Every structure is written in C-alpha cells, then in structure tokens.
A and B are shown apart, each in its own frame.
Chain A
Amino acid sequence: SQQGEEDPQALSIQEGENATMNCSYKTSINNLQWYRQNSGRGLVHLILIRSNEREKHSGRLRVTLDTSKKSSSLLITASRAADTASYFCATDPARKLIFGTGTRLQVFP
C-alpha cells in the first residue's frame, strides 16, 4: 500500500492564484520530499523538508510538515501555466522512497 495519500486528486486554477496540495503519510519519517511530473515524463525534485522542520520555502514554493498529524502541504504561490503538472509527496521508510498518489494541477492562462 502507498505511504502517502494526496488531496485533492485534481485541482484547476487560474494563473496568478495560489495552489495548495496536501499529503498524509502513515509511518514515522526522516524527511518528506515533493516532486513534480510533467505528463508522461520523469519526476523533478522540488523540495525536501526534514522531520525536525516545520516549514520551508523555495522560490514560489512553501512546504509545511506536521509530524503529529503525519501530514504535509505544498503551496505554490502566483501560479503559472507552466506549473501544470502532477505533484507527488514522497517519504523514505527503510530507504525505499514511497510516493503518494499525486495531485494533478491544471493552471489556466
């Protein structure tokens, strides 16, 4: 079974709006990562947050982590059409990277 579940499964917004995706996981973690995947292509690493961190920023990305609730969120601010992609959270229990189900983000110009 998958370690992470993401919500929502799909999200459609207009350019300039913010997009928020949530990820829940099941076991304790050392870190949580977010990856982006453009249609049918490989994944691109976006950001990593460690278990002792609560929030991290990278450009227009903001990630939060709540280990007590076993959840994380990814916020993309001022979205662009180029942000259209699927976004996955990933955790690493026992050195096997386990991905969530993904959120499909569609940003309309």
Chain B
Amino acid sequence: KAGVTQTPRYLIKTRGQQVTLSCSPISGHRSVSWYQQTPGQGLQFLFEYFSETQRNKGNFPGRFSGRQFSNSRSEMNVSTLELGDSALYLCASSPRPQDEKLFFGSGTQLSVL
C-alpha cells in the first residue's frame, strides 16, 4: 500500500506570492491533517479535514487555508507569502479522525525569498 504522498517535495517562492501544496493520503484513509515545522516553533498543527469538512484548526492566520476533495486528497494554500512561512509542511493521514496514530508524508520544503 502506498504511503502518504506530498507534492512538490521542494518549492521556492517569493514574498507576496501564493502557494498550493498537495497531499494524497494512504488509500482508505479519510482524515488528513497538516503541520508546519520550523526550527524556531517546532511542529505546529495547522488543520484537520475529514469527509471534505474542516474539523479542527490551529492558531494560524487566515492566509493559511485548506480543503479536502471527495477522494480524500487534500490541498493547503498559503496566500501573500511571508519570509516566516518558510518551513517544512507535513501532511498526515489516518483512517478516521478518532484514530490516534498518524501516518506522515515526507513533506514539502517551502522556501520564501
């Protein structure tokens, strides 16, 4: 069974641009979560989706948004990029929201110049 797939692996953008990151969960997994990892703040929860509905949201500004499609694939979007948005963005999936164990993708490394 294929693992969680995140694309692209690396991304370079400039301030003010927007970016869309993609995540394909493990087949059969319907819950998808996103995390931001930076050296300064560590791993921080962004949001969680299940059945195309956002179930939970972390403390990030409205520039960070996401969505989930009927096939459980998810995308996150960051608008008006700032230098501080440079981070490793990790997607994780689980069969259901109440499943505690998460399966992570390898992440998208975003650099904002």
Contacts and interface: CB of A to CB of B under 8 A. Distances in A.
A33 B100 contact: yes
- Tell me the interface secondary structure of chain B in the complex: strand
Contact of B102 (A31, A40, A45, A101): A45
Interface stretch (A57-65, A70-78, A91-99): A91-99
Given A43-B90, A99-B43, A101-B42, A92 B106 contact: no
Given A42-B106, A45-B101, A97 B45 contact: yes
A13 interface: no
A44 B103 CA distance: 7
Interface string A20-48: 00000000000101010000111111001
B109 interface: yes
Contacts of A102: 42
A2 interface: yes
A87 interface: no
A48 B4 CA distance: 20
A95 B107 contact: no
B25 interface: no
B97 interface: yes
Contacts of A92: 100
A4 B4 CA distance: 25
Interface size bracket, A side: 20 to 34
Contacts of A96: 45, 48, 56, 58
A81 to B, nearest CB: 21
Contacts of A94: 56
Contact of B109 (A2, A40, A44, A95): A40
Contacts of B58: 96
B88 A95 contact: no
Interface of B: 4, 33, 35, 42-45, 48, 55-56, 58, 88, 90, 92, 97, 100-107, 109
Interface of A: 2, 31, 33, 35, 40-45, 48, 88, 92, 94-102
